[in-house]
Structure 1
Amino acid sequence: MYINKKNTFHVLIQSMQFSTKRLVYLLVFTLLGATVSGQEGFYANGSMNMAGQTDTLKVKVLANGWLLTDVVINDKTYTFLLDSAGPTTLTTSVSGHFENITSRRIIDASNHAEMVNYVSIPKLTLGKTTFLNIAAMQFDIKLLKHHGIDGLLGANIMAKGIWDFDLRNERIIIHKNNAFQDFPYVSKITLQANGTPVIKAKYFNKVKENVWIDIGFDDLFSLNGDYFKKLEKQALLKNEVVGYGNFAQTAFGASSGKFHLSMINLGLGNLTIKDIPVKVDHNPQSKIGVKFFEHYRTVIDFINKRIYFKPYHNKIDSTYRTFGFKTKVNRQKKLAVAFVWNNSSAFEQGIKIDDVILSLNDLDLKTTPISHKILNKAYRLKKEKDSIVVEVNTSGNFKMLYRWDILKKRN
């Protein structure tokens, strides 16, 4: 989720699709020309006031890894999704005495009109920490509102402090001072105009790239297609698998076609990770996602421009165990197949794009309205099982699927 400097705003909240690795909600608004005079200064506005040296926030970790926390604005508590790669954004359900900076009616490439307000929030409270005069965007994000999320807690707020992400204990600690000598791995970072942290990554100790740290991205690592081609040209990639379909279903269309899954050796400062599975995305920016934070307790020091890692366990699993398909909610508001990986159980069982899913094990989807709770239940069911029974297209047409490592060649 991000804003860039080329007059394009993307709010990424992934649409109704899930796989064994993730349940994601993605709404992509491509709003052309969404700029504000003096944009860098606009998002740099505001200050943070802490009562003590640290403040511990409880976070709710959704099945897909997304992080939710309570935010108080105008004495009312809202639920916000944390996103380190985009500006703070409010839905229209958030009310307060905001200073309106400007408003823009934006027409996107699909001729869809959207009114975006740029506002200043006089006071926003997280735990015992208060943020004053924070810049934000506000517009009608229906999909967020539908799922009970009132806004995005963005990089421009995080850039005011030092954030310690301890997901194993479902908490975030905001620090006033830097004291992380017990973290064995450290690297320098830079910040984008809106506060997005960027780390210099090295692939196979040869190829370097600036990578965004995006806790709003629900996976482990997404590799930019151009860098994938560079690594492929040098014959550095291992065990490549391809898949076909709609990789990301959006509000105005789908990112579709052929996608890749492979493994790389990744260097981040003095941290080296061998054989990390990565997806190759059409997104122009490689990203470290929130799944990485499940393996490493991570401190992002926005003030001193450092990032620290401490592993929860010995290594990241080098396998990519999946049933092999992703889903979407089709125009009839039914759960349907959006994407299938080759070398997977779904592929072998003949699961095809646009197949309608009628049930998963004992979860009946024939008459149950599709909702966030239902999809979350389906994800957890799949996450806990090594096999599932999927009913597709017609009543009684059951397919037994198994989860296995699709990066491993099968006989």
Structure 2
Amino acid sequence: MRSKIIFLILLLIQLNVNAQKGMFKKGTIQPSVYKEQLAYTLVNQLIYVTVEIEGKEYIFLVDTGAPSTIRKNLDVDFVFLKKESIMDAMQNTQEVDYVTLPSIKIGNLTFDNFVFMQEDLTVFEDLGIDGIIGGNITARGAWDFDLQKNSITVSNTLDQAWLKEANFSAFKMKKTDIGTPLLSLTYFDRIKEKGIFFDTGYSGLFYLSASMFDKVKPYVSDYITGEGILSKNAFGNSVGETALLPLKMKLGQQHIPIFFSDVEEDEESNLGVEWLSHYRVIIYKNTFYFSNEGQRGFETKFVGKGIKTAVENGELLVTFVWHNSPAHKQGIQLGDKIQAVNGQQVADLTLNEQLELKKTMETSPEITVEITRLNHPIVLKEEVLLTGE
């Protein structure tokens, strides 16, 4: 499974809709007429922006798939609205507060009286962020994501000049009560699915729900399976089995070139932020504009050694294994401890050196690893695990 993290699994889409209806539509933007190019950074493909609150700067994630959220322990003024239980896709529940922030700034734009969920999510520590700029904010105005040109522009209205810059396809969409865009897709020119989230808080390209995977299987020429940590959300890790398949998809009348899709045990499929590496996207009111003009194409082969790893408490652990991959064939299992890589003892390295070693494992075409449980060197070479041609 390629790098993918679901931070809220859209747990916040399930927010007791009747009680929340209208709450996330509050807030105004100043000035009322604006066109602002946002300063941002990409970390593991995720979009970070600097937010100013009461003269202090904080780092927030831009996540169209969640409501705006802020750490509980930030010393900022707010107006308490209500307390409520929320539930994620794994049926975990948690008490959260909803508050209104009088004013925040992003660049030259001021966002007054927007509703935020106030909670100390575990993902905040994982990412080193202080909050989320969510769907209730990105639903306002027009957001032009043109990451190939290192540009995110926000405007109070759709700039027609944008549409002339690239060959855009336009597709009608709906939005959830918190502002997350909902799309409808067709797979293999036969099977339709509605209510697919466009979620920039999910770092992958796309995942297919398990139930939809069962429906498209007859039209898939080949796929691979694996097991391990599938995703990370606000309440912890999701561990289980998954699949990777070459998916043929159509958005509106626009055919998308075949790409590799993961499968998730989730109720809905999900379009993630990696999409912005391949398509320029504008979201405005109830229309989803996208263009691949000048953008990067999709990989046609999935190549790897068959494992994913993580550095935890000074150890390098196997966190995911693709079945029938080079690693799997040589006996490596989920949870195995990697003792050495290319002769370097993991325990002798600093944390930064361990992270560099992990990167070497991912990028080198051939490595030699020593697994504590197996107690003998294993040579892992990259192989084509799946083709989308």
Same fold (TM over 0.5): yes
Say if 2:309 is the partner of 1:327: yes
Following the alignment from structure 1 to structure 2, what is the Cα–Cα distance between the partners of residues 379 and 206? 41
- Post-superposition CA distance 1:245-271 (Å, at most 9, x none): 342366767544432111121101232
Say if 2:382 is the partner of 1:399: no
What is the deviation of 1:311?
3.5
Following the alignment from structure 1 to structure 2, what is the Cα–Cα distance between the partners of residues 173 and 163? 6
* Contact 1:93 1:145 (C-alpha < 8 Å) held by counterparts: no
Say if 2:292 is the partner of 1:316: no
Cα 1:316–1:108 change in 2 (3 A) is closer
Q: What's the counterpart of residue 168 of structure 2?
A: 184
Q: Indicate the larger mover: 30-39 or 237-246.
A: 30-39
Following the alignment from structure 1 to structure 2, what is the Cα–Cα distance between the partners of residues 221 and 32? 18
Following the alignment from structure 1 to structure 2, what is the Cα–Cα distance between the partners of residues 252 and 240? 30
- Post-superposition CA distance 1:306-365 (Å, at most 9, x none): 3222333473222222332233566x6633222211232222332211101345559864
Say if 2:100 is the partner of 1:100: no
Q: What's the counterpart of residue 141 of structure 2?
A: 161
Q: What's the counterpart of residue 296 of structure 1?
A: 279
Following the alignment from structure 2 to structure 1, what is the Cα–Cα distance between the partners of residues 365 and 340? 17
- Post-superposition CA distance 1:126-175 (Å, at most 9, x none): 11112111111111224413542111111111011211112223331112
Following the alignment from structure 2 to structure 1, what is the Cα–Cα distance between the partners of residues 184 and 381? 37
Q: What's the counterpart of residue 222 of structure 1?
A: 207
What is the deviation of 1:203?
0.6
Following the alignment from structure 2 to structure 1, what is the Cα–Cα distance between the partners of residues 149 and 93? 42
Q: Indicate the larger mover: 68-77 or 29-38.
A: 29-38
Q: Indicate the larger mover: 21-30 or 339-348.
A: 21-30
Q: What's the counterpart of residue 348 of structure 1?
A: 329
* Contact 1:60 1:170 (C-alpha < 8 Å) held by counterparts: no
Following the alignment from structure 2 to structure 1, what is the Cα–Cα distance between the partners of residues 129 and 263? 28
Q: What's the counterpart of residue 223 of structure 2?
A: 240
Following the alignment from structure 1 to structure 2, what is the Cα–Cα distance between the partners of residues 132 and 290? 27
Aligned counterparts, 1:237-386, within 5 A: 237-248=220-231, 255-301=238-284, 303-313=285-295, 315-327=297-309, 334-360=315-341, 365-366=346-347, 375=355, 377=356, 380-381=359-360, 384-386=363-365
Q: What percent of counterpart residues are identical?
A: 28
Q: Which runs of 5+ in 2 are unaligned?
A: none
- Post-superposition CA distance 1:163-195 (Å, at most 9, x none): 111222333111232221333322111101110
What is the deviation of 1:108?
8.9
What is the deviation of 1:79?
0.7
Letter in 1 for 2:290: Y
Q: What's the counterpart of residue 11 of structure 1?
A: none
* Contact 1:23 1:379 (C-alpha < 8 Å) held by counterparts: no
* Contact 1:68 1:80 (C-alpha < 8 Å) held by counterparts: yes
Give TM-score, length-normalised by structure 1. 0.81
Q: What's the counterpart of residue 191 of structure 2?
A: 207
Cα 1:364–1:85 change in 2 (3 A) is farther
Which residue of the other structure, out of 174, 178, 182, is the alignment partner of 1:194? 178
Q: What's the counterpart of residue 47 of structure 1?
A: 28
* Contact 1:361 1:388 (C-alpha < 8 Å) held by counterparts: yes
* Contact 1:186 1:271 (C-alpha < 8 Å) held by counterparts: no
What is the deviation of 1:405?
2.6
Q: Indicate the larger mover: 125-134 or 250-259.
A: 250-259
Following the alignment from structure 1 to structure 2, what is the Cα–Cα distance between the partners of residues 367 and 110? 38
Q: Provide the secondary structure at the position in 1 that maps to 2:250.
A: strand
Q: Provide the secondary structure at the position in 1 that maps to 2:67.
A: coil
Following the alignment from structure 2 to structure 1, what is the Cα–Cα distance between the partners of residues 269 and 247? 13
What is the deviation of 1:55?
0.9
* Contact 2:5 2:204 (C-alpha < 8 Å) held by counterparts: no
Following the alignment from structure 1 to structure 2, what is the Cα–Cα distance between the partners of residues 93 and 359? 40
Following the alignment from structure 1 to structure 2, what is the Cα–Cα distance between the partners of residues 54 and 95? 30
* Contact 1:199 1:212 (C-alpha < 8 Å) held by counterparts: yes
Letter in 2 for 1:264: L
Q: What's the counterpart of residue 4 of structure 1?
A: none
- Post-superposition CA distance 1:97-124 (Å, at most 9, x none): 1001023477999998854221001112
* Contact 1:189 1:307 (C-alpha < 8 Å) held by counterparts: no
Following the alignment from structure 1 to structure 2, what is the Cα–Cα distance between the partners of residues 142 and 318? 35
Following the alignment from structure 1 to structure 2, what is the Cα–Cα distance between the partners of residues 154 and 241? 34
Following the alignment from structure 1 to structure 2, what is the Cα–Cα distance between the partners of residues 294 and 359? 34
What is the deviation of 1:56?
0.9
Q: What's the counterpart of residue 5 of structure 1?
A: none
Following the alignment from structure 2 to structure 1, what is the Cα–Cα distance between the partners of residues 262 and 89? 27
Cα 1:269–1:106 change in 2 (3 A) is closer
Q: Which has the higher helix share?
A: 2
Say if 2:76 is the partner of 1:76: no
- Post-superposition CA distance 1:2-46 (Å, at most 9, x none): xxxxxxxxxxxxxxxxx6x32648577979996487412111111
Q: Provide the secondary structure at the position in 1 that maps to 2:211.
A: helix
Following the alignment from structure 1 to structure 2, what is the Cα–Cα distance between the partners of residues 374 and 138? 35
Q: Provide the secondary structure at the position in 2 that maps to 1:212.
A: strand
Alignment RMSD (CA, Å) = 3.5
